[in-house]
Amino acid sequence: MRALVFATNNKHKLEEVQALIGDKFQLKTLGEIGCLDEIPETGTTFRENASQKSHYIWDRFNMNCFSDDSGLEVDALNGEPGVYSAHYSGSRDWEENLQLVLDKMTGMKDRSARFKCIISIILDGNEHFFEGTVEGEITESRSGSAGFGYDPIFKPQGYEVSFAEMSAEEKNRISHRAQAVSKLVEFLNKQ
């Protein structure tokens, strides 16, 4: 089994992906390879940030690895919160961040938005990218309590409920992250 670092400390995320890729690769978290650093994310796009994290691990640990970066893009806010999704209001509090989006969107007619997820993987020194996007719109007010982040104010196209009103299974069938991960898994299964 080949070791593959997933540049995350979220065991739950790692187990989800491990279950999908079977036993060809053994995923390791940052903690498991002894990386306790706060990996810089200074890019201006999801792609740059994901790539920055993968290169950080490859350069210092010389191990195969992948990283993801994701967030919400709102057209009427010129693509914000974008790479600042996790701390848009200056705080990492999800409630404050989604409230700021709602406040900025007051009276806006164009409410189109999308979640994006980009994965960068460096395998034997070669980098590959996988992407997932889910189009939708920002609701007028929050609804639902499942999920995390901006889920209560995002209604995916073709649905009448927000991400936070869906079960985890339902969200995982269409989410940006699920799409990107499924492309990664398909790629890994061919290695």
Triad 130, 44, 34: Cα angle to 5°: 65
Q: Of 20-28, 66-74, 100-108, 119-127, which part binds ligand IMP (CB under 6 A)?
A: 66-74
Across the chain, the runs of DSSP E, i.e. the strands, are 2-6, 25-28, 65-74, 112-123, 126-138, 154-156
Q: Does 86 bind ligand IMP (CB under 6 A)?
A: yes
Q: Does 6 bind ligand IMP (CB under 6 A)?
A: no
Q: Which of 52, 54, 64, 85 binds ligand IMP (CB under 6 A)?
A: 85
- Positions annotated as catalytic residues are 69
Report the site for ligand IMP in 92-131 (rule: CB under 6 A).
Answer: 115
Across 139-177, the runs of DSSP E, i.e. the strands, are 154-156
Q: Of 28-36, 64-72, 99-107, 125-133, which part binds ligand IMP (CB under 6 A)?
A: 64-72
| Alpha carbon distance 148, 94 (integer Å) | 7
Determine contact, residues 86/92, Cβ cutoff 8 Å.
yes
Binding site for ligand IMP (CB under 6 A): 68-72, 85-86, 115, 147-151, 163, 175
